[in-house]
Amino acid sequence: MKKIIIKKYGGYNQLQYLDASVPKPPPGHILVRTKSIGVNYADVCVRWGIYESAKKLKGLPITPGFEFSGQVEELGDGVGNFYAGDRVFGLTFFEAYSEFVIVPAHQLFKIPQSLTYDEASAFPVTFITAYHALFQNVVLRENMKILIHSAAGGVGSSLVQLAKIKGCHVTGVVGKTHKVELVEKLGANNVIDKSKEKLWDKAESISPEGFDIILDANGYSTLKDSYQHLKPTGKLISYGFHSMLPKKGGKINFLSLALNYLKSPWFNPVHMSNVNKSLITFNLSFLFSRKDLLEEAIFDLLSMLKEEKIKLPPITTFPLKEVAKAHQAIESGETIGKIVLNS
C-alpha cells in the first residue's frame, strides 16, 4: 500500500509518498481501505513538528491525518455491527494519510446513503470541532450574539450553521471578499470583510454592548481584542493559532514563531473574574477517546444532515500523492470550505 510518511519535520518535501505493508487489525479494531481523507490545518502543524500531542504520543516517523472514509476491509476479533465492504467514515489519532488505516471500532461510523466518500471525509473534524465548541462547552440561548472568525473555512462555516440552528445572531468574519457570499448563504446575520472594513469598528457597530460568544482560531492577532469585545458573562472560545504561522513557503520560522508566541495575550484569572468574562480552549485530538462525547456529536450531526439543517462545505480534492499541493492550499488561507485527498 501507499502512505504519506514524515521522517523529519519541515517543508513540503518531508511528505514522502512511500510503500508500506498492509497492517492486520488487532482485537476491537477495524482495517479500512480509504477512499477519501480529510485535510486539516493541524496536519500542517504535524509536518512542522509543532503539534504537541503528535510529538509526545507518536514522534517520528509519523503519518498525518485525523479523518477518512472508505470501505471495511477486515475486522479484528470481537468487532460487531460492521461487515467487510461497509461504507464507513471515521476518526483516527493520526495515520489517515494512507490507503489503509486501522481504527478502534468506536471511532468508525457507517456512511449515510446520501453522502459520497468525499463528503463523508470532509464531515467529521470540522463539524465535531464546531459541535464540541458550541454544544459541549457552552449553553446556547436564542438571540445570543456570536462572532465567528474565519467564518468561510471548514470549522467556521460549521460554526455559523450550528449557531443559527439555536437561533443565535451570527456575525461572520472573513479575510477576502470572495468568501462573503458563502457565509451569507449559510445564514449569517452580518459578514465583516476584513479586506474592506475595520474589523472591530464594524463589530462594535453591530453589537455595541459586546458579544456573548466569540470563536477565534487566529491566535495572537485577534485574541486580545476578541476578549475585550465580549459582554459581561461572555465567553471566548479559542481553538487554533493560525496567525502565528506562515501562509506560504511551506517552512516555519521558529524565531518568528517564538516572537509571535510572546505576543499572545495572557489571561489572569483574577481579572477575568472581575470583568466576568471567560476563556475556553480545547484540542480535538483528545476527544477521540471519549466515546460518549464523540458518539453524541456524530449521531446528532448525522441527524441534522438527514433533516437538511446543516450543509457540507464546498470540497476541493487532490490525489494522495499530491498532498504537498493540498498543504500549500490550506496554508494559504485562500481556500473556501474543505480540502480532501483521494486515495
- The predicted structure's pLDDT at residue 252: 80
Using the predicted structure, report yes or no on whether residue 18 has a pLDDT greater than 80.
yes
Using the predicted structure, report yes or no on whether residue 179 has a pLDDT greater than 90.
yes
Nearest to 223 by CA among 234, 231, 215: 215
- The predicted structure's pLDDT at residue 263: 84
pLDDT tens digits, one per residue of 223-244: 999 999 999 999 999 998 877 7
pTM: 0.94
Residue 95 and residue 63 in contact, taking contact as beta carbons nearer than 8 Å:
yes
Average pLDDT in the chain: 94
Kindly state the average pLDDT of the residues 92-100.
96
- In DSSP notation, 44-59 reads HHHHHT--HHHHHHT-
d(CA 142, CA 60) in angstroms, rounded, equals 47
Using the predicted structure, report yes or no on whether residue 246 has a pLDDT greater than 80.
no
Kindly state the average pLDDT of the residues 245-259.
78
| Run of H or E residues at 31 | strand 29-39
Q: If phi over 0 gives left and psi between -120 and 50 gives alpha, with beta otherwise, what is residue 22?
A: beta
pLDDT tens digits, one per residue of 82-92: 999 999 999 99
Nearest to 110 by CA among 290, 294, 299: 299
- The predicted structure's pLDDT at residue 333: 83
pLDDT tens digits, one per residue of 32-52: 999 999 999 999 999 999 998
pLDDT tens digits, one per residue of 124-169: 999 999 999 999 999 999 999 999 999 998 899 999 999 999 999 9
Using the predicted structure, report yes or no on whether residue 309 has a pLDDT greater than 80.
yes
Domains of the chain: 2-124+288-342 (3.90.180.10), 138-281 (3.40.50.720)
